[in-house]
Amino acid sequence: QSILNDVKRNGDSAVKKYERKFNGRKTSQLRVSAKEIKEAKSKISRKEYRAIGDLDLWLGITETNVRLRVQEAVKKTNIDPTGQLEELGVSTEKSLVPISSVGCYIPGGQARYPSSVAMSVTPAKMAGVKRIVVVSPPGRDGKIDPLTIAAAKRCGATEIYKVGGAQAIGALAYGTKSIPKVDKIVGPGGKFVNIAKLLVSDQTAIDMVAGPTELGIIADASSDPELVALDLISQAEHSKDTKCFVITQSKTVAKQIQKSLEKLIPTTERRSIIKESISKNGFIAVCKNQNQMIELANKIAPEHLELMVKNSDIPDTPIQRSLTEKITGAGLLLTGKNSPSAATDYLLGTNHILPTNGFGRTRGGLSILDFLKLQTIVLSDKGALNAILDPLKALTDAEGLPNHYKAVERRLD
């Protein structure tokens, strides 16, 4: 809160002060220049740049389909099947309009996340947002990772800034001389970023709490213990505060998965992070029956939940329907052994910016819908006002708001 207050009062000088304090380097220019963008592109391989293009394409196709379906649904809401409202002199029109400006927070620090650029910038671009701002913490050299910069430009960002942490959220929410404020802030981050987003949400819209990664896996005797272990490891490597766990009905399966983890972790890359994450936050829950597994999964409501059980690879089987219809808490539900969360983090067309801390119970992943506003237009005539006059009087009297009634009644004199 003190950082946010300082940024609100002192703008750029406060932002630069906290960048120097937390990153140990003085920042003179917050905005990434055209020259820096050009230099960043020269430092990445063609293969990396093509991969970012593929990611942008896959997401773009998904978001276009979502928008078309939602637009069709919105159009249907404008049609009154009975015609009664139109006969009474009331017409309504609903449309989807893009938010004017958004700020996309891209984490840095322990790893680089150009994929998170595409996950936030691409749906904003597909929605038609005119001003798309990317902020990301610079490294010790005072620069943002080159691939992150290239991805931001490739996917449609209009501005890129070298700033992270709570000070970046404050700049986006309140505006500074260098960084004009935005209408909404989206993107994942650490606990300080998420707390800052919550603190500014009374003045600037935010997408969700998207904190450290969470992965739950429901496994049975048909599951491959090594694949389960590899999926847990793939998400645990993000940071030491990720939460990765397994839910099963079999003690034997639980022991097999435990043994696979013990075998794989000592020789894997990023093992110090993985080991601390799993030992501190991980668990294997052995439940009595399927209902107990479902209840636990919905109670935890993890960011990702994989169903690696018998026949879950086959669409529309009774067991798959039974689980997918009852499991409603996960931010993203993945069915079958060939739908790993590691793939959805990148190139299966779904978004990896997902709700954590149980917020999967109330919303799904970031999508084009987060960048669109439902605009409603109403037109009524005197006939419509006359038709509602008596019930309006009863309701305004009941609520003690007589001037509401008078404002309508006067139009009928």
Instruction: Count how many residues are written for the chain.
Output: 413
Contact present, 179 and 30 (Cβ < 8 Å): yes
- Whether 303 is catalytic is yes
Task: Give the residue carrying structure tokens 């110090």.
Answer: 272
Contact present, 77 and 94 (Cβ < 8 Å): yes
Task: Give the residue carrying structure tokens 């169903």.
Answer: 307
| Active-site residue (options: 159, 303, 306, 352) | 303
Q: Which residues fall within 8 angstroms of residue 310, CB to CB, at 6 or more apart?
A: 220, 221, 222, 319
Q: Where does 126-183 show beta strands of DSSP type E?
A: 131-136, 159-162
| Dihedral pair phi/psi, residue 399, rounded to 5° | -95, 0
Rounded CA-CA distance 341/94 in Å is 36
Rounded CA-CA distance 413/409 in Å is 7
Neighbours of 12 (CB within 10 A): 16
Q: What SS3 class is residue 21?
A: helix
| Active-site residue (options: 237, 304, 306, 352) | 304
| Dihedral pair phi/psi, residue 34, rounded to 5° | -60, -35
Q: Where does 235-352 show beta strands of DSSP type E?
A: 243-248, 283-286, 304-308, 332-335
Rounded CA-CA distance 62/49 in Å is 20
Strands 283-286 and 372-380: unpaired
Rounded CA-CA distance 191/220 in Å is 34
- Whether 214 is catalytic is no
Contact present, 126 and 60 (Cβ < 8 Å): yes
Q: What are the structure tokens assigned to 398, written together?
A: 């009941």
Residues serving a catalytic function are 303-304
